[in-house]
Amino acid sequence: MLAGLVLLEALSILLFAILLINRQAHEVHQRARLRLAHQASSMALQASEALRQQRPGWVGLSVTMMAETPGVARAMVTDAAGNVLFASAGEPEEMILDRAERAQIPLKAAKEAKVFDFGGNRMESVDAIYTGADLRGYAWVETDRAWDYEQLNTIERGTVMFGIIWICASTLLVLLMARAISRPLAILHRGTRALMDAPDNGSNFPLPVTVRNEFGDLIEAFNRMVASIKEQRSGLNDTLSLLDSMLANAPIGLAFFDRRCRFVRVNSVFAGMTGVPLSRHLGRTLPELLPEPVAQELEDTVQRVFLAEEPIRDVELSGKGGLLNLPWTWLVSAYPVRTKPDEVRWAGVIVLDTSERKRSEEALRRTEKLAATGRLAASIAHEINNPLEAVTNLLFLLRNFCSLDGPALDYATMAEHEVRRISEITQQTLRFYRQSTLPARASMSELLDSILNLYHVRLNTLGIAMERKYDPNMDLYCFAGEVRQVIANLVGNAIDAMPGGGRLIVRARQSRHWRDEEMAGVRLTIADTGTGMSDEVRARIFEAFFTTKDVTGTGLGLWVSHEIILKHRALVHVRSRAASKGGASGTVFQLFFPDNQDLTGQGRKVAATASA
């Protein structure tokens, strides 16, 4: 822009100079014409005066004098016929008028001197010499154009000098302006460009502040703005990275839907659940990717979120699929995503694959039954063992009875043989039941966590609030699998007692034996705000097959648990208040597991108390 300014100025100066020079040239020309006319008429006057006074010699003098005048190249006087009488240079006789000069002669009657151009750059003036009315001749004066041009050249030189000085001065001014305005502007321009092209590249900033004026302030303000944008952007990027990593690494399926129930975003876990590549989800609807009726159920959930603009929790969906065509269950929660307070733009869906948990719950239930069956078989075997021993002894005596005849002896031997088989079977059954893993140190918190996580879904679905309080570094020397089963039984019973919701409290802490201060161990409390038990029920809970749950109960859970408690030389204490008694109902099971016990030996009954 500034270069353009300089160019414009140079052009206008050039134009101005041309105009000025032209004007001057014109004026010089005009002046020369006037001067020439004047010189010719004054020479004609002098000549006519000289002729009138009969002094022709003065005419020659006048010619010579005229020729000496600055700006005159040649002067001469001719007679009326054009013959040269006097000339400033050369001999008059040798001189003749040339054609251009001769062409002027018919105009001799003119009152004034006549100026004319002839040949090249030459200009000449002619005036008639009269004495009275007689035309005596002509006075000719030729100008010295070089002298005129000298003047013109001086003007030209002056103009050019002026132009050069003017251009230099304005260029200097422009340079100063450039330093003060255009450089900072150019820096700003480059900075803006760089910011637009590569917003994350901070190498160009801060921009250099080269001047101390309003433009310098502008650059400083720009630098501050860029720094603040950068800070905001970095904060935003951090948040986005956090969210992205959460989305990518959360062990739950996450998906977002727009109002037309099309996928907007999903994470890899969700893609893993649907079995469709991640990239194929975007823009598709649920029925395009998932089998019915799951697609419809999920779509209904999403639509309900958009309609109610409220979250929906714990919807259980199930089906069969995958490589092994195994049954699966999903626990789905959906919630509205608002971009403005009054506008739900997307629906977020969280999917928890609870198939494994379901299977574990099932397995737990089966283990409980199996353990109970084992224990039942063992106690039957145990009970059979004593009479069996008596029968074996009696058969032995019978066989050795002397009055026995042959066939009777055979029968007795056969009976003895069969009885021995029965005995073997019972022995085997007992051995099988007693065989279990060796005791070891187990983390109490892991044990509790694993059980409570297993019941998580049931707790949520029933609206039971859980309160857990235990030291994560606490451990216990025990048969972990069996202790686990006891806890699972107690928690399961507590949940069964709260079908309409309530509170479940699970606590564990290092403690001492209730009666023996020397004995350290772990005290475990499992309490609920459920239906509670009447005294009659509480008195029988450890009995086999005692249940108040009709079809769903086995009545074996606490019976097996009691056995395990005895095996660990642990204590159990039950307090319960039935709903029928009025006031707050609920049950508290307290257990004390002594630590560092010799558990390899046969368990002996320490204590099992039940009190109101």
Ligand X SMILES: Nc1ncnc2c1ncn2[C@@H]1O[C@H](COP(=O)(O)OP(=O)(O)O)[C@@H](O)[C@H]1O
Return the number of the residue (48 or 531) whose C-beta is nearest ligand X: 531
Which amino acid makes up residue 563?
A: E
Least distance in Å: CB of 430 to ligand X? 23
For residues 364 and 489, give the distance between their C-alpha atoms in angstroms, rounded to a whole number: 10
Q: Which of ligand X, Mg ion, none is residue 274 near (CB under 5 to 8 Å by kind)?
A: none
Return the number of the residue (197 or 550) whose C-beta is nearest Mg ion: 550
Return the number of the residue (71 or 492) whose C-beta is nearest ligand X: 492
Please say whether the beta carbons of 567 and 486 come within 8 A: no
Return the number of the residue (269 or 541) whose C-beta is nearest ligand X: 541
Least distance in Å: CB of 547 to ligand X? 3
For residues 244 and 422, give the distance between their C-alpha atoms in angstroms, rounded to a whole number: 67
Q: Which stretch binds Mg ion (CB under 5 A): 32-40, 198-206, 402-410, 486-494?
A: 486-494
Return the number of the residue (32 or 572) whose C-beta is nearest ligand X: 572
Q: Which of Mg ion, ligand X, none is residue 185 near (CB under 5 to 8 Å by kind)?
A: none
Least distance in Å: CB of 486 to ligand X? 11
Q: Which of Mg ion, ligand X, none is residue 587 near (CB under 5 to 8 Å by kind)?
A: ligand X
Least distance in Å: CB of 327 to ligand X? 25
Least distance in Å: CB of 575 to Mg ion? 18
- Say whether 325 sits in a helix, a strand or coil: coil
Residues that bind ligand X (CB under 6 A): 489, 493-494, 497, 528, 530-533, 537, 541, 546-549, 553-559, 587
Residue nearest to Mg ion (CB): 557
User: Does residue 557 belong to the site contacting Mg ion (CB under 5 A)?
Assistant: yes
The secondary structure of residue 587, as a DSSP letter, is E
DSSP per-residue codes, 459-475 = HHHHTEEEEEEE-TT-E
User: Does residue 163 belong to the site contacting Mg ion (CB under 5 A)?
Assistant: no
Q: Which stretch binds Mg ion (CB under 5 A): 68-76, 460-468, 489-497, 564-572?
A: 489-497
Q: Which of ligand X, Mg ion, none is residue 590 near (CB under 5 to 8 Å by kind)?
A: none
Least distance in Å: CB of 258 to ligand X? 47
Of the candidates 481, 480, 478, 443, the residue with the CA atom closest to the CA atom of residue 596: 478
Q: Which stretch binds Mg ion (CB under 5 A): 28-36, 457-465, 554-562, 588-596?
A: 554-562
Least distance in Å: CB of 587 to ligand X? 4
Q: How far is CA 82 from CA 63, 67, 76, 284, in A?
A: 16, 19, 11, 115
Q: Which long-range contacts (CB under 8 A, 24 or more apart) does 559-562 make?
A: 559/372, 559/375, 560/368, 560/371, 560/372, 560/375, 560/485, 560/489, 561/485, 561/486, 561/489, 561/490, 562/608
Q: How many CB atoms lie within 10 A of CB 427?
A: 13
User: Does residue 78 belong to the site contacting Mg ion (CB under 5 A)?
Assistant: no
Return the number of the residue (65 or 376) whose C-beta is nearest Mg ion: 376
Question: How far from chain centre, in Å, is Cα 344?
Answer: 21
Please say whether the beta carbons of 309 and 339 come within 8 A: no
Return the number of the residue (412 or 533) whose C-beta is nearest ligand X: 533
Least distance in Å: CB of 533 to ligand X? 5
Please say whether the beta carbons of 495 and 569 come within 8 A: no
Return the number of the residue (143 or 531) whose C-beta is nearest ligand X: 531
Q: Tell me which H or E stretch contains 31.
A: helix 2-52
Least distance in Å: CB of 422 to Mg ion? 33
Please say whether the beta carbons of 598 and 591 come within 8 A: no
For residues 487 and 504, give the distance between their C-alpha atoms in angstroms, rounded to a whole number: 13
Return the number of the residue (58 or 546) whose C-beta is nearest ligand X: 546
Backbone phi, then psi, for 460, in 5-degree steps?
Answer: -65, -45
Q: Which of ligand X, Mg ion, none is residue 548 near (CB under 5 to 8 Å by kind)?
A: ligand X
User: Does residue 485 belong to the site contacting Mg ion (CB under 5 A)?
Assistant: no
Return the number of the residue (41 or 489) whose C-beta is nearest Mg ion: 489
Return the number of the residue (348 or 557) whose C-beta is nearest Mg ion: 557
Least distance in Å: CB of 452 to ligand X? 15
Please say whether the beta carbons of 332 and 301 come within 8 A: yes
Please say whether the beta carbons of 479 and 439 come within 8 A: yes
Least distance in Å: CB of 573 to ligand X? 13
User: Does residue 493 belong to the site contacting Mg ion (CB under 5 A)?
Assistant: yes
For residues 481 and 464, give the distance between their C-alpha atoms in angstroms, rounded to a whole number: 26
**Range list of H helices, 53-182:** 56-68, 99-102, 145-177
Q: Which of Mg ion, ligand X, none is residue 531 near (CB under 5 to 8 Å by kind)?
A: ligand X
Q: Which of ligand X, Mg ion, none is residue 9 near (CB under 5 to 8 Å by kind)?
A: none
For residues 177 and 171, give the distance between their C-alpha atoms in angstroms, rounded to a whole number: 10
Of the candidates 612, 608, 588, 451, the residue with the CA atom closest to the CA atom of residue 526: 588
Residues near Mg ion (CB under 5 A): 493, 557
